[in-house]
Structure 1
Amino acid sequence: MKKLIAGIALFGTFALASAQTITFDKTTFDYGTIKPSSDGTRFFNVTNTGDKPLVLSNVKASCGCTTPQFSTDPIMPGKSAQIKVGYNTAINGPFNKMIEVFSNDPANSRSVIYIKGNVDTKAAEVATTPATTEPAAAPAKKSKKVAATK
């Protein structure tokens, strides 16, 4: 009888060792201080570090101001997927929201990720980088070329 119990325990250990495992690139996304009505969309990367397909069955926000989106397609071993999280930035003030992620990971069937930040009308403007101003200059060159051909 002892051998039977030991065998079952040993088999259970191997079954858990060869399973799907959920891993996040980060468990908290800090928006920092942002302006009202700015882009509230952020992404969490989910990786399957196990050796069986990982399936996200549900992703649930703690309130209606946070909207998660995810795919129920299996995440193959070694592959990643994204959870898209949107926060309603029309709501002024600090926020700290919890998002529950449910999966078929036997050790972590319920994981928790967070978003936090502060929506403030006095937030600094985002600086424009040269990469974003460059495409605007391109049409001006094109119009010169068109003018030269007439």
Structure 2
Amino acid sequence: MKKYLLMTAILVNAAIFAQSGAKIEFKDKDNTIDYGTVNKEDDSGLRTFVFTNTGDAPLIITNVQSTCGCTVPSKPTEPILPGKTGKIDVKYNMHTGPIRKTITVESNAVNVDEGRVALKIKGEVVEKPVVNLLEKKKTSPMQN
């Protein structure tokens, strides 16, 4: 019986200590920002992922990288204290077409596998339609 109680106490302590440390929680559902359909000329391509350190130790973002050069992320330079929020800015270069990119965040967070979190951006970039003011409007016979 004493052996059973000792093992239970060890397991409970291990579970408690395993949960201490920095923890990262992102605001966006599924860690995804949807640009929607945006005009190339009207949008800078800049979006921000907001996160909170829900742990009990400072959160350190060690690296943030994108799957391609068309998406440039920036990371916080200072540790994020427990209970505080931070942000990761992502700048997409607004090439016309669909957006499907992944940004990998590496940190000391204990609540994610190996401290890594995948962030995603999605959407579609279109060119603004050109309006020719000199072109005569076409009318259908039904409008007369």
Q: TM-score range by the shorter chain?
A: 0.7 to 0.9
Higher helix content, 1 or 2: 1
Matching of residue 25 in structure 1 with residue 27 in structure 2: yes
Q: Give the 3-state SS of the residue equivalent to 1:96 in structure 2.
A: strand
Number of matched residues? 122
Q: Using the aligned pairs only, state the percent identity.
A: 41
TM-score, with structure 2 as normaliser: 0.76
Matching of residue 114 in structure 1 with residue 120 in structure 2: yes
Tell me the equivalent position of 1:100.
104
Tell me the equivalent position of 1:59.
64
- Which consecutive residues of structure 1, in runs of 5 or more, have no partner in the other structure? 124-150
1: distance between equivalents of 2:127 and 2:85? Answer: 36
Tell me the equivalent position of 1:83.
88
- On the 8 A contact 2:52/2:85 being kept in 1, the answer is yes
Q: Give the 3-state SS of the residue equivalent to 1:19 in structure 2.
A: coil
| Deviation readout 1:34-79 (Å, 9 max, x if unpaired) | 1224310010101001111111111111111000001131111100
Root-mean-square deviation over aligned CA pairs: 1.9
1: distance between equivalents of 2:79 and 2:14? Answer: 23
2: distance between equivalents of 1:66 and 1:101? Answer: 14
| Deviation readout 1:71-110 (Å, 9 max, x if unpaired) | 1311111000110000001x11011101111110123111
Tell me the equivalent position of 1:128.
none
1: distance between equivalents of 2:75 and 2:27? Answer: 16
Q: Give the 3-state SS of the residue equivalent to 1:84 in structure 2.
A: strand
**Distance apart, 1:12 and its partner CA:** 2.5
Q: Give the 3-state SS of the residue equivalent to 1:10 in structure 2.
A: helix
| Letter of the structure 2 residue corresponding to residue 19 of structure 1 | G
| Letter of the structure 1 residue corresponding to residue 117 of structure 2 | S
| Letter of the structure 2 residue corresponding to residue 45 of structure 1 | V
**Distance apart, 1:21 and its partner CA:** 0.8
2: distance between equivalents of 1:4 and 1:101? Answer: 39
